Amino acid sequence: MNKSWIFVILTSLCELLWIFGFNVASTWWHWAIIIPIIAVDFWFLAKACEGLPTGTVYAVFAAAGTVGTALMDVYLFNHTFTPIKVVFICVIVIGVMMLNIADTLSEQKQQKEAA
């Protein structure tokens, strides 16, 4: 696995941590924990963009945050999980997968043209 993908995973996990923190923060020291997590999150995001196309990184980052937040709402904060939510989560995941495939095909085409 490319090291940049590890940074994508780390930035996505950090995003879920600070979003969770937004939901439960009630005192100043909660925010003292959340703010450094946000800073680390954006550092991981920048490191991921050094080795992967920015559009792909951001799409995966945003999708992981969206899907993770929707699941967090259901399992941690007792919101409802409706069939329409499942449909749209699947649309997000399929869209990110297709974007990754498109980037891979584009890279392969550029490599063939350069050769």
Q: What is the pLDDT of residue 8?
A: 95
CA-CA distances (angstroms) from residue 52 to 34, 57, 60, 63, 69? 27, 7, 11, 16, 24
pLDDT tens, 97-114? Answer: 888 788 788 888 888 888
Helices (H) and strands (E) in the chain, counts: 4, 0
pLDDT of 88 above 80: yes
Q: How far apart are the first and last CA of the chain?
A: 25
Q: Of how many residues is the chain composed?
A: 115
Mean pLDDT value across the chain: 90
Q: What is the pTM of this model?
A: 0.79
pLDDT, tens only, 59-85: 888 889 989 999 999 999 988 989 999
Domain positions in the chain = 3-114
